[in-house]
Amino acid sequence: MMIGIIRWPVTIVLILFLSHSFGQIFKKEINRYNDDGKRDGKWICWWDVEKKIPMSEINFKDGYEKGVQKEYNQDGTLRLKFRFYKNRVRVKYYHANGTMDKKGWSVMDYKEMRYYWHGKWKFYSEEGKPVRSAIYQYGTDTSYTLNE
């Protein structure tokens, strides 16, 4: 019985120590550059640092965006989300109430440093109902249908 009583405090101390140690080991530094001077890892820009209201969260690999990027309104609500697939980007915009505003594909041209809507886009009302869809070719709306 005495051994069981001693084990609990030791187990709790061990868990607390390991969780703190692993947290420090796996905690990634934000807003850092790699050895070549390029952005690398998670970058966060803030609307308000003290209130922890982010402006954007971006993941970089060798200076290029990768994975998911999020941008926020000044009140901290999600404004848009990008998911990078090489030079193609899946984009979702949100209304102020949090419902989907529009979503579609775009292209990031790193040679010209230009961003284009390219592919099918869907547009939604603030109630979340589909309003229309359109096909874009390098930023130009080439066709659309209502109430799809």
26-48 confidence digits (pLDDT tens): 557 899 999 999 999 999 999 99
Listed as own residue / partner, the contacts of 83-90 with beta carbons closer than 8 Å and 24 or more positions apart are 84/108, 89/115
Look up residue 125 and give its two tokens: 């009302």
Averaged pLDDT for residues 110-131 = 92
Strand partners, 31: none
Please report which confidence band the pLDDT of residue 113 belongs to, taking 50, 70 and 90 as the band edges: confident
- The total number of residues written for the chain in this structure: 148
Q: What is the mean pLDDT of the chain?
A: 84
pLDDT of 99 higher than 80: yes
53: exposed, middle or buried (C-beta count within 10 Å: 0-12, 13-18, 19+)? middle
- Asked whether the predicted pLDDT for residue 23 surpasses 50, the reply is no
pLDDT at residue 94 in the model: 97
* Token pair in block for residue 95: 């209304």
Q: With a cut of 90, say whether residue 73 has pLDDT above it.
A: yes
pTM for the predicted model, two decimal places: 0.72
Residue pair 83/103 in contact (Cβ under 8 Å)? The answer is no
Res. 2: pLDDT tops 70: no
